[in-house]
Amino acid sequence: MAAATEAGTNEPGPPPLRRGSALARQRVRAAWLFLAPMLLVLALVAGWPLLRTFWFALTDASLTDLRNYAFVGLLNFRYLLTDPDWWLAVRNTLVFTLVSVSLETVLGMLIALALHARFRGRGLLRAAVLVPWAIPTVVSAKMWAWMFNDVFGIVNELFLAVGFIDAPVAWTASPDTAMAAIIAVDVWKTTPFVALLLLAGLQMIPEEIYEAARIDGVNPVKVFFRVTLPLIRPALVVAVVFRTLDAMRIFDLVYVMTGNNRTTMSMSIYARQQLVDFQDVGYGSAAAALLFAIIAMMTVLYLMAMRFGREE
C-alpha cells in the first residue's frame, strides 16, 4: 500500500493540452463566446465612430452639412502635414509629454519609496497622497487657473512674499510661463498615480533581499540601483507607458487653463478647433486620425518591446 501510494505521488501530472486538441479548441471557443458581448459593445461604442472618423478624414465634409460632401483622398493629410500650426501643436505635445512624464516618474519614485517605509500613520498618508489624482481634471484645472491668476491668485501672493518675483505674473496668459504652469498642474495631479503603481511594485520585492544587503553592508544607493530598480522595472515601464499615452492625448487640462492658445495648443485641441470652431469635419478628422495613428503606433511598439523582453 505504501509502495503504491508512493508510486502514485511520483506519477507525473496530466500532460499539457496540445494546441490542436479537441479540449483546447473547446476552451478557445468558450473564451471567444464569453468575450463576444464585450467585443460587440466595444465595436459599437468605439469601432464605428473610429471608422467614421477615418472616412471623414478622406472627405471635405463640413459641420454645417454632413450629408453633402466629396471624396478628396489624402488631400487633408497633405494640408495637415504642411500646416505650421499642426507642427507647433505636435511640438507642444511632445514637450509637455517629455517634461511632465519625466518629472512624474522621478517624483513618483521618491514618493513610493517614502510610502514604502514603515512608520506610524502610513496608511493615512497613502490615502492623502491620492487626493490630487482623485480630483476630476476639469475641477483641478479650474482651481489652479484661479490660483495662477495675475490679479487675485495665491501663487503670485506667495512668490511676492518670499521675493521670488518682483511683480505679479500672468502665468497662464504669458507665452513664457503658460506651458510651465500646465506642466506643474499635471505633475501635481498625476504623480500620485505613478507613485501608486511603483508602490505596488515595491511591495512585491521580498524583504529578505534588503536584509541580506544590510548584513553585507551594501550602500543603500547601490541597493536601489542594483536591486530595487531592476526588480520594479515592469511596474516602472507600465507607469511610464501609461502616462506617456495619456499625456500624448492631453486635452481637458490645457483647454480649461489656456483655451486655444497657440503656445500651449496640443494635438487634441488642434483637432477640436478644426472640427468645432472652424466646422471643417474633414480636416479635423484627419488631425484626429493622425493623432490616433501616433498613439496606436506607440502602443504597438510597447507591446512588441514587452514581448521581446519576456522572450529574453
DSSP letter at 250?
Answer: -
- pTM for the complete prediction? 0.83
- Nearest residue to 269 (alpha-carbon basis) of 75, 44, 96: 96
Mean confidence (pLDDT) of the chain: 86
Model confidence band, residue 187 (pLDDT cutoffs 50, 70, 90) = very high
Model confidence band, residue 75 (pLDDT cutoffs 50, 70, 90) = very high
- Greater pLDDT, 101 or 17: 101
CATH homologous superfamily of 75-311: MetI-like (1.10.3720.10)
Output the pLDDT for position 221: 84
Statement: residue 72 has pLDDT above 50: yes
Weakest-pLDDT range from 74-83, 226-235, 243-252: 226-235
Query: Alpha-carbon distance 111 to 106, whole Å?
Result: 9
Weakest-pLDDT range from 21-25, 60-64, 225-229: 21-25
- Nearest residue to 125 (alpha-carbon basis) of 188, 174, 65, 195: 195
Output the pLDDT for position 39: 86
Q: CA angle, 225 as apex, 219 and 229 as ends, to 5°?
A: 135
**Cα separations in angstroms, 218 against 116, 203, 209, 222:** 19, 21, 11, 7
pLDDT digits (tens, 9 = 90+) for 9-59: 444 544 554 555 788 888 888 989 999 998 888 888 888 888 999 999 999
Output the pLDDT for position 265: 94
Statement: residue 224 has pLDDT above 90: no
Q: Where are the domains of the chain?
A: 16-46, 75-311
Model confidence band, residue 225 (pLDDT cutoffs 50, 70, 90) = confident
